[in-house]
Amino acid sequence: MARVAPIGKITPISQAGRKTTQRTVGGTYQAVFVMGIISLLLLGGIGSRLAYLQIVEGKTNQERAENNRIRTIPKQPVRGTIFDRKGKVLASSRLSHSVFIWPIAQTKNNWDKTVERLARVLEIPEEEIRQKVTQSDYSAPTLIRIARGLDVGQITALKEYNSDLEGIEIDIEHVRDYPEEDLGAHVLGYTGELDAEQLEKRKKDGYRLGDIVGQMGVEESLESQLRGEWGGKQVEVNGKGKVLRILGQKEAKAGKDITLTLDAELQKVAAATLGRRKGAIVALDPRNGEVLAMASYPTFDPNIFSGRITPQMWEELQGEGNPFVNRALRGFPPASTFKVVTATAGMESEKYPPGTVLNTFAYLRVGGTAFGEWNKAGFGPLGYVRALAWSSNTFFGQIGRGVSGPTLIDWSRRYGFGEKTGIELSSESGGLIADEKWKQENYDWEWTVGDTINMSIGQGFTQATPLQVAVMFAVVANGGYRVTPHLFKEEKDESEWRTSLDLEPETLETLRSGLRAVITTGTGSKLGYVPMAGKSGTAEAPPGPTHAWFGGYAPYNDPEIVVVAFAENSGGGGSKVAGPMVAKVVDAYLKGKK
């Protein structure tokens, strides 16, 4: 039977065992100490990070959190309506569906699938969509317009894919509408979204990404009045983008309505008269400079810019004939219409008073150059009236040579040639009235007598726009005042729109008699069924056919309207091609008054 140690008796431990026990206990204390240090370091790191996030980046993180639930929904103002002088709508706004992206709705890396689906439905390159979002910022809390003018098919497709298109919204907004389509397109212009370069220039004026602005015509020049003021809502949304409540709201302020001097019915007549002939027709009131009609062909329909314009579409639009060029504001050799200026310079200089009679020839020879008469024979002795009626080149060549270049240049500029008229269209050219300095700078050659003779018949370096030519005819029609042509209808006294050239009464009477003789006995006698006065012009335009001009005013004894027609490279002569165009517009105006 084994022996059992009595309870309470302690068995002695050996020296070796005691040492082993001490090492075990010591190791345990050391491990606990190390773990404690590590825990303290971890807790300290976490605490430091929390302190950093709260104290250093607290405001930033709070803003991010706010952006995730606060959305700014901008409300674009309704653009002002444009009316003609009788209240007919020329440009207004209509409702259209647009698609927007809310960048902050998901992370930048998750946008690929959304952009891919959106690009396929809208038929827009993915890069174009990404560029718009990048231009704004992927953390922007505002909506970014991706496309306007969605059709029913696109709207349906977007709604079908709604669950796969996070951060995408379809909304209704106003887009520009031109009910008369291409009527007056060069005057009205069109609207479109700001591009990156335009946005950078206009940020200081309160413009933002996605703003629609006037890009041409009065839409551009009267932008500040037509634009209006943005409004919008600030709303709180949940994680799925559903609006929980409206935090604030500002009503958009509509743009100002504008009334133009244009007469829509006369504009239609001018456009129809011009037809598909490359050129321009301008009609204005000679008493105050109000532009009644301004047609240019080729033209375009500004409604196309209410939707997306692809690079291919833009290239096609820029195609044949440069349809965006307003030929009423483009410079061309004015030809014999310019003889009004030459006649004025001759009479007002007193070198060739109103009673002057000069012999005419088959040509004028200056040095080695012969300046020919258009009938190749001359007309015998002529005074101003018959010289204007038959448009004698050698008569007015002698006048120009006699008064000298500086005098002719001076009177050209008094009539308004060589500078912009001041009409509210940025595309206007000032034309060209060359002088000695200009020729030295451009040709390194002195001004010659030949240059003066060329100018006296509206050729050589001289360039004038149809609008400038209309202003010239207005001087004769209104009794010697140079008017400022304008499109914005304002209630001002006539005197505020015109400046006197201080012409002698005899000068004015001679000019009027000469321009009336053009219709009664001269080159425009086939237009005698209309009670007007005027002047034709046929400009050389090598290597192409000649340009045709005609300008006139009516009624000849109490003028109310000036009309100038220009046909580019038409051939055929001014009286034959452009004259009937002027007569038709004048006739329509006079019948309209009855």
Same domain, 459 and 555: yes
Residue 439: partners with Cβ closer than 8 Å, 6 or more residues away: 445, 446, 447, 451, 461
Task: Give the integer Cα–Cα distance in Å for 575 and 4.
Answer: 148
Residue 319 inside a domain? The answer is no
Q: Note whether 237 and 129 are same-domain residues.
A: yes
C-alpha to C-alpha distances, 94 to 149, 306, 505, nearest whole angstrom: 10, 10, 54
Query: The domain containing residue 470 runs over which residues?
Result: 264-311+324-593
Q: Residues 6 or more apart from 454 whose CB is under 8 A from it?
A: 371, 460, 461, 462
Whether residue 367 sits in one domain with residue 226: no
Kindly state the DSSP code that residue 578 receives in the 8-state scheme: I
Give the CA radius of gyration of the chain.
39
Q: How many CA atoms lie within 13 A of 294 on its CB side?
A: 34
**Residues 307, 255 share a domain:** no
SS3 content of the chain, % helix, strand, coil (to 5): 45, 20, 35
Hey, what amino acid is at 538? Answer: T
pLDDT at res. 35: 67
Token pair belonging to 247: 């935090």
Does 40 fall in a domain?
no
Has residue 232 been placed in a domain? yes
Do 452 and 469 fall into the same domain? Answer: yes
**Cα distances (Å, whole numbers) of residue 74 to 144, 243, 307:** 9, 15, 20
Q: Identity (one letter) of the amino acid at 276?
A: R
**Same domain for 120 and 144:** yes
pLDDT at 72: 64
pLDDT at 249: 72
Looking at the structure of the chain, the number of domains it has is 2
Q: Are residues 583 and 524 in the same domain?
A: yes
* CATH number, domain containing residue 503: 3.40.710.10
- Residue 43: what pLDDT? 55
C-alpha–C-alpha distance, residues 581 and 171, integer Å: 48
Q: Of the residues 234, 259, 284, which one is the last residue of a structural domain? A: 259
Q: Domain with 104 in it: what CATH number?
A: 3.90.1310.10
Q: Write the burial class of residue 286 (CB in 10 Å: 0-12 exposed, 13-18 middle, 19+ buried).
A: buried
Quick one: 232 and 166 in the same domain? yes
Q: Is residue 31 in a domain? A: no
459 plus 529 within the same structural domain = yes
Chunked into runs of 10 residues, the chain (594 residues) has average pLDDT values of 43 48 55 62 56 54 54 76 96 84 67 76 77 66 74 78 71 86 95 81 79 91 87 67 67 88 97 96 97 96 82 74 93 97 97 97 91 94 97 97 97 98 95 96 95 96 98 98 94 86 97 97 94 96 94 97 97 95 97 84
Nearest one of 412, 391, 382 to 524, comparing CA atoms: 391
- Please tell me the predicted confidence (pLDDT) of residue 130: 76
d(CA 97, CA 145): 11
Gap between the Cα atoms of 25 and 177, Å rounded: 91
Q: How far apart are CA 460 and CA 274, in angstroms?
A: 27
Q: Do 114 and 137 have their domain in common?
A: yes
Query: What is the pLDDT, as a whole number, of residue 316?
Result: 76
80 and 179 both lie in a single domain: yes
The reply to whether 119 falls in a domain is yes
Q: Are strands 191-193 and 168-177 parallel, antiparallel or unpaired?
A: unpaired
Q: How many other C-beta atoms can be found within 10 angstroms of the C-beta atom of residue 494?
A: 14
Domain boundary residue among 240, 259, 278? 259
Q: Is residue 51 part of a domain?
A: no
Residues 502, 572 within the same domain: yes
Tell me whether residue 474 is in a domain: yes
pLDDT of 56 reads: 53
Distance CA 562, CA 200 (A): 42
Q: What is the pLDDT of residue 332?
A: 97
Predicted confidence at residue 283, as pLDDT, reads 98
Distance CA 255, CA 213 (A): 12
Of 227, 197, 202, the residue nearest 213 (C-alpha): 227
Instruction: Residue 290: name the closest of 472, 118, 455, 490 by CA.
Output: 490
Instruction: Please choose, from the candidates 423, 452, 422, the residue with its C-alpha nearest in 3D space to the C-alpha of residue 436.
Output: 452
pLDDT at 107: 64
pLDDT of residue 64: 45
Question: Residue 140: inside a domain, yes or no?
Answer: yes
Are the C-beta atoms of residues 133 and 111 closer than 8 Å to each other? Answer: yes
